[in-house]
Amino acid sequence: MLDATTAVDTLTIDDMRAAHERIRPHVRRTPVLQSEFLNDLTGAELFFKCENLQEAGAFKVRGACNAVFGLSEDMAEAGVCTHSSGNHALSLSYAAGRRGIPCNVVMPRTAPQAKKDAVRRYGGIITECEPSTSSREAVFAEVQARTGGEFVHPYNDPRVIAGQATCSAELLDQTGGLDAVVAPIGGGGMISGTCLTLSSVAPETAIYAAEPEQADDAARSFRAGHIIADDAPETIADGLKVPLKENTWHFVSRFVTDVQTASEQEIIDAMKLTWKALRVVMEPSSAVPLATILKNRDVYAGKRVGVIITGGNVDLDKLPWIKG
């Protein structure tokens, strides 16, 4: 059984398969959508894995459920706790609610109201912090000491990585194989899970990470060969502000082909374009992959490309292309 201290270099495809069975009653097998318009625009055959239609509105419910339902009865008694800008917080709250245990989360005071509302709707208890990694971790230490809950890190946790790995396993099954997969990168949980699955069952599939230019620490880390962490980057893609950690760097440094970046306007344009072409409303973080594909058409032209839409918890009253 995995726990928070499991060495990530010992994770195998069997851990992903065990996670898939464990979470099956609690998550959705999300659909894959295509658009002839976007295919023509990019020159690639794009397959969009719609995790915005997932329970709790984001892929993170996969890792959260794997962690929560993998706890022993003794460990679960005090509940779980975490820090998150939103999607992991609401996903862990959802999973804890399904198991009937408490969930305490630390969130930046600037986190989207839609995400805060969802956390509370699922029964999570919020403690706010300042919008920086240092504040988040300091406030979280106080909350964990007070509650005694099991810490489920948003991404630097082998249980979470194994759960996120189930997304790309489904995507491969639904498409019959891909030349490349593109997913957003912040802390690297989804990318790490993608690496775990594809390196095992489809090593010929290239893995690209997509990141905002204004929060490009993963891209700089990738080029430098070691983790470079920004404390409080500013970007519309609020879910991608956190830095890589040692567990996710293990996968990024070994299996990612490249980390590509997009500007704030390119992210907004891709978000709007996805709405027009797929009728899908998604978070700015989820638009970064399409933005980087549009920016790097020569890399993807003529290829079958999986694109993971990671979440859909967006404030509809504050869509970024609406002025006012």
> Mean per-residue pLDDT for 132-157?
93
Q: Which residue has the higher pLDDT, 184 or 312?
A: 184
Map residue 232 onto helix, strand or coil.
coil
Amino acid in the structure at residue 294: L
In this structure, are residues 59 and 166 in contact, taking their beta carbons and an 8 Å threshold? no
φ and ψ of 294, to 5 deg: -60, -35
Q: Where in the chain is the domain with CATH 3.40.50.1100?
A: 8-59+158-318, 61-151
Query: Strand ranges (DSSP E) for 96-195?
Result: 103-108, 125-129, 150-151, 180-184
HSE on the CB side for 42, CA within 13 Å? 30
pLDDT more than 70, % of the chain? 99
pLDDT attached to residue 10: 96
pLDDT attached to residue 314: 79
Q: What mean pLDDT value characterizes the chain? A: 94
In this structure, are residues 248 and 20 in contact, taking their beta carbons and an 8 Å threshold? no
Both tokens assigned to 234: 């500013």
pLDDT attached to residue 82: 96
Both tokens assigned to 100: 């009937």
Q: Is the pLDDT of residue 324 over 60?
A: no
pLDDT tens, residue by residue, 260-283:
999 999 999 999 999 999 999 899
Q: Is the pLDDT of residue 249 over 60?
A: yes
In this structure, are residues 173 and 186 in contact, taking their beta carbons and an 8 Å threshold? no
Comparing 21-30, 47-56, 204-213, 230-239, the range with the smallest average pLDDT is 230-239
pLDDT attached to residue 112: 80
Strand partners, 81: 104, 151
Distances from the Cα of 178 to the Cα of 146, 163, 183, 201, angstroms? 47, 21, 14, 12
pLDDT attached to residue 323: 66
Q: How confident is residue 134, by pLDDT bands cut at 50, 70 and 90?
A: confident
pLDDT attached to residue 85: 78
pLDDT tens, residue by residue, 215-236:
999 999 999 999 998 877 899 9
pLDDT attached to residue 86: 82
pLDDT attached to residue 161: 98
In this structure, are residues 54 and 28 in contact, taking their beta carbons and an 8 Å threshold? yes
Distances from the Cα of 280 to the Cα of 38, 70, 210, 237, angstroms? 13, 32, 19, 17
pLDDT attached to residue 321: 74
Q: Is the pLDDT of residue 159 over 60?
A: yes
- Assign domain 61-151 to its CATH architecture: 3-Layer(aba) Sandwich (3.40)
pLDDT attached to residue 174: 98
Both tokens assigned to 113: 């109201």
8-59+158-318 classified as CATH 3.40.50.1100: yes
Place of tokens 């638009």: 287
> Mean per-residue pLDDT for 282-310?
97
Distances from the Cα of 223 to the Cα of 145, 217, 263, 299, angstroms? 37, 10, 19, 18
Both tokens assigned to 267: 């992210």
Map residue 212 onto helix, strand or coil.
strand
pLDDT tens, residue by residue, 164-221:
999 999 999 999 999 999 999 999 999 999 999 999 999 999 999 999 999 999 999 9
